[in-house]
């Protein structure tokens, strides 16, 4: 990894880097000396030529470069990369007592912008979401195998963010053989099947691990409604926790087929209703039937891919929360989430509060919810906090 160019910032634009925020926007760049290719390492300096960072160049992106190191004597080479990946993996070691599905690298939070690595048993799945890591795919694969001992690595660099980087979508095997079928993982006593080839994100919502355990601890004897259930993660956790029954809604017939199979895989006999429907329509139908539930989970897909979608997203979150609150029995609890990075924690709480007011119910916020410890948030990069949630209790 050799620096071939210098990226100079406009005066005053160095402040975010001095605070160790890793993103350098195009408007902050005064000039580029040299001819760096996408993903090349550049030396970032201020208008006074003072060193600020080593960063990966991305000429097609509005984030023109992403900082890898803020120490001039620590130029990121392959040895540096291997050490940082090994350290990220080591920080997740304690989770093996609960699960064999973990996020091993979480981009900027681990000092590796654009790199996402998930482990499902003996299979790794990587997402290379920025030019810098895309240019170093082979070195990254080598480092992952060295840190984990796993030589089965599949790439799922298929998110829309790659287009904004000027990178093509890419899927395929980086190391070893591709998975022959679903990968079986275990989490807090529940067995799940993960389709790493075609499943959402990298195949499973690892980030909701702690919230599934929370729900399981509340579920004994209760009626549970899981909206946007996908392959049934929350539902299976609740049923394993002793739920009297679980109703699960998703628009995908394929996802629900997997969910039913997973119920059998876990030898769960409690009543489970798997409903293929639009969630908004299904909630109206349940209300017309005067059904009530003791525990309701709202875990919708990303309603706001960017700030341009905020108005539409907030309307959807409010409509969804309002419908759920009308189905929540007195003494019941609502776990509601947003995975939209553009929706702040404060905004999400205000939207849900508005739904409580319109529903004319009395409710308390019992807890703020977030992703698990393998999805940390860098104190200098708060944008990494994409998953946020609230647990409400109805009085």
Alpha helix ranges (H) inside the chain:
15-18, 78-91, 131-134, 137-148, 161-164, 209-218, 233-240, 253-265, 279-288, 310-325, 345-359
Mean pLDDT for 112-120 is 97
Write the CATH number of the domain with boundaries 205-394.
Answer: 3.40.50.150
Mean pLDDT for 127-153 is 97
Instruction: Give residue 301's pLDDT.
Output: 92
CA distance 200 to 12: 41
- Contact between residue 348 and residue 193 where contact means Cβ atoms under 8 Å apart: no
Identify the band that residue 200 occupies on the pLDDT scale cut at 50, 70 and 90.
confident
Instruction: Give residue 203's pLDDT.
Output: 79
pLDDT averaged over the chain?
Answer: 96
Active site residues: 339
Pairing outcome for strands 123-128 and 272-276? unpaired
H or E segment to which residue 189 belongs: none
Res 3 pLDDT > 70: no
The domain 5-69 is placed in CATH, from the list 3.40.30.10, 3.20.20.70, 2.30.130.10, 3.40.50.620, at 2.30.130.10
Instruction: Give residue 276's pLDDT.
Output: 98
Identify the band that residue 159 occupies on the pLDDT scale cut at 50, 70 and 90.
confident
Name the CATH topology of 78-175.
Answer: Transcription Regulator spoIIAA (3.30.750)
Extents of the domains making up the chain: 5-69, 78-175, 205-394
Res 116 pLDDT > 60: yes
H or E segment to which residue 363 belongs: strand 363-370
Instruction: Give residue 309's pLDDT.
Output: 86
Domains 78-175 and 205-394 share a fold: no
Instruction: Give residue 2's pLDDT.
Output: 55
Res 153 pLDDT > 90: yes
CA distance 114 to 87: 17
Prediction pTM value: 0.95
Tell me the torsion sign for CA atoms 154, 101, 256, 263. Answer: positive
Q: Is 138 left (phi over 0), alpha (psi -120 to 50) or beta?
A: alpha
At 97-111, the pLDDT tens digits run: 999 999 999 999 999
The number of helix segments (H) and strand segments (E) in the chain equals 11, 20
At 321-367, the pLDDT tens digits run: 999 999 999 999 999 999 998 899 999 999 999 999 999 999 999 99
Q: What three-state secondary structure class fits 139?
A: helix
At 50-95, the pLDDT tens digits run: 999 999 999 999 999 999 999 999 999 999 999 999 999 999 999 9
Percent of the chain with pLDDT over 90: 93
Res 202 pLDDT > 80: no
Q: Quick one: which of 388, 390, 377 has its CA closest to 22?
A: 377
- Contact between residue 212 and residue 237 where contact means Cβ atoms under 8 Å apart: yes
Q: Tokens in use for 266?
A: 């876990």
At 220-245, the pLDDT tens digits run: 999 999 999 999 999 999 999 999 99
Percent of the chain with pLDDT over 70: 99
């Amino acid at each position: 990894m050799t620096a071939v160019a210098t990226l100079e910032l406009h005066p005053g634009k160095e402040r975010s880097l001095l605070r160790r925020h890793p993103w350098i926007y195009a408007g902050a760049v005064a000039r580029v000396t040299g001819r760096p290719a996408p993903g090349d390492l550049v030396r970032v300096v201020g208008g006074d030529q003072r060193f600020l960072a080593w960063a990966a160049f991305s000429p097609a992106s509005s984030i023109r470069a992403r900082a890898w190191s803020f120490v001039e004597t620590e130029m990121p080479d392959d040895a540096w990369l291997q050490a940082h990946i090994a350290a990220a993996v080591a920080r997740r070691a304690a989770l093996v007592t609960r699960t064999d599905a973990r996020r091993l690298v979480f981009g900027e939070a681990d000092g590796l912008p654009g790199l996402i690595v998930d482990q499902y048993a003996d299979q790794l799945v990587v997402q290379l979401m920025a030019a810098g890591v895309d240019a170093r795919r082979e070195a990254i694969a080598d480092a992952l195998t060295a840190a984990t001992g796993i030589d089965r690595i599949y790439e799922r660099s298929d998110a829309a963010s790659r287009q904004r980087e000027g990178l093509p979508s890419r899927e395929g095997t980086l190391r070893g053989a591709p998975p022959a079928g679903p990968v079986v993982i275990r989490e807090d006593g529940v067995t799940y099947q993960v389709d790493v080839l075609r499943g959402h994100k990298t195949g499973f919502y690892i980030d909701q691990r702690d919230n599934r355990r929370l729900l399981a601890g509340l579920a004994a004897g209760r009626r549970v409604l899981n909206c946007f259930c996908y392959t049934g993660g929350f539902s299976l956790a609740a049923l394993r926790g002793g739920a009297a029954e679980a109703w699960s809604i998703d628009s995908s017939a394929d996802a629900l087929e997997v969910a039913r199979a997973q119920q059998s895989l876990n030898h769960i006999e409690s009543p489970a209703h798997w409903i293929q429907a639009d969630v908004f329509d299904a909630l109206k139908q349940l209300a017309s039937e005067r059904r009530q539930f003791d525990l309701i989970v709202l875990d919708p897909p990303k309603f706001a891919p960017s700030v341009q979608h905020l108005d539409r997203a907030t309307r959807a979150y409010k409509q969804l929360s309002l419908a759920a609150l009308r189905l929540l029995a007195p003494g019941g609890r609502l776990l509601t989430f947003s995975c939209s990075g553009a929706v702040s924690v404060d905004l999400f709480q205000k939207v849900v509060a508005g739904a409580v007011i319109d529903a004319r119910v009395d409710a308390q916020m019992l807890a703020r919810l977030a992703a698990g410890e393998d999805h940390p948030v860098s104190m200098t990069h708060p944008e990494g906090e994409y998953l946020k949630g609230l647990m409400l209790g109805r009085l």
